Amino acid sequence: MSSIIDSEEKRSKSFKKDSSHLMKAITVEPKNPGTEKYMEIPEPELTAGSILVEAIAVGVCGTDVEIVEGKYGWAPPGQKYLVLGHESLGRVIDPGAVSGFKKGDLVVGIVRRPDPVPCPNCAVGEWDMCRNGQYTERGIKEIHGFMSERWRIEPEFAIKVDPSLGILGVLLEPATVVTKALEHIAVTGRRSFWEPQTVLVTGAGPIGLLAACFAKIYGLDVHVLDRAVWGAKPDLVRALGATYHSGSVLDIGFEPDAIVECTGVGQVISDSIKQIGANGIICLTGIGHGGASGSASVAEIAAAAVLKNNVVVGSVNANKRHWYKAAQNLARADHNWLSRLITRKESPENFKKALQRTPDDIKVIIQFSEV
């Protein structure tokens, strides 16, 4: 008798699940602070992509915090909420009809989609260089992100992750930002004879540490500067075989060939322009707010750049070439070292804790399921 009731219960539960088509997701009403929720929403529709993915983990970054604080972000047209999250990792549940993917593959979703016009750069697949700003971005601008139990992705916007990486695949999105920055430094360097040997990375957050790791893989003499005097950041830099500096860029004791700037701090940027070697290239990846440029005027900083043929180049986002290359870089990196970048894992129920930064955090992830 009890087994009949049990199976009836199971049937009714599964019927409920099938008929309701609901899943849990972390959502926010953009530009409306305090609206973040872990709530039930409809399962992703087929129009979102033919590959169905079970979420494993999603990384949290400053952009997510800004969206939750109501400073940034756009819901999909006609919808009230946006599913948060753009640093994804998932497992293919259903690869769809023809996708080149198979059940069980670890995948990460590309964040940006080309604008509909399209501008010349989006037309050739360089959506990271979009000219008209009408691009869309998952979890940020008009497309739902990846902080849901299941998500869908178009085969052309899914990147396969080396299975040996496991949970470390969640680092792929920040890795693409770094891979693009290093590529743009290399491309810019070709304007003259240039064989870079030394690179300085300012800021030892996830972007800075991944930049140091990949620059090391590329064979450069790597230096990292951060405010921290002790702790995980200096330890991680030294474990790479790179040199750690704290204090002013002006005191590092050499003139770098290239600088990857990851702080967005005015003083660090103006000091970098003064300290870089002749023909040097500074790639800005950090986004700062306000503040002064230290004691130097803009004209003085510009004069330093002119007299040494320096280039200051800004870099944001990444296109498919960078995603592909970043996946290779990540697979080549020391997996034990990479695992030390993930300093905290929170459950989706505890997502608010994941959005609060503590001084010891490098990368915090929200884990939806086991790898």
Residue window 65-104: x/- pattern of binding to Zn ion, with contact defined by CB under 5 A: ----------------------------------------
The count of residues interacting with Zn ion (CB under 5 A) is 4
Place of tokens 């995948």: 107
Q: In whole angstroms, what is the distance from residue 130 CA to residue 137 CA?
A: 12
Under the binding rule (CB under 5 A), the answer on residue 207 touching Zn ion is no
Q: Could you give the count of Cα atoms lying within 13 Å of 365 in the half-sphere of its Cβ?
A: 29
Pure H helices in the chain:
2-20, 62-68, 120-123, 172-189, 206-217, 232-239, 266-275, 298-307, 320-332, 335-339, 351-354
Indicate the residue among 115 and 271 with the shorter CB distance to Zn ion.
Answer: 115
Place of tokens 């769809």: 96
For residue 336, give the amino acid letter.
N
Q: Which stretch binds Zn ion (CB under 5 A): 6-14, 80-88, 126-134, 343-351?
A: 126-134
- How near is the Cβ of 47 to Zn ion at its closest, in Å? 21
- How near is the Cβ of 314 to Zn ion at its closest, in Å? 17
Q: What is the 3-state secondary structure (H, E, C) of 45-70?
A: CHHHCCEEEEEEEEEECHHHHHHHCC
Residue of the chain from 119, 172, 175, 236 that contacts Zn ion (CB under 5 A): 119
Indicate the residue among 122 and 327 with the shorter CB distance to Zn ion.
Answer: 122
Residue of the chain from 36, 64, 87, 115 that contacts Zn ion (CB under 5 A): 115
Pure H helices in 240-289:
266-275
Indicate the residue among 125 and 266 with the shorter CB distance to Zn ion.
Answer: 125
Indicate the residue among 115 and 226 with the shorter CB distance to Zn ion.
Answer: 115
The CA distances from residue 7 to 1, 11, 14, 19, 348, in Å, are: 10, 6, 10, 18, 30
Residue of the chain from 67, 130, 225, 333 that contacts Zn ion (CB under 5 A): 130
Q: Which stretch binds Zn ion (CB under 5 A): 38-46, 118-126, 142-150, 274-282?
A: 118-126
Residues that bind Zn ion (CB under 5 A): 115, 119, 122, 130
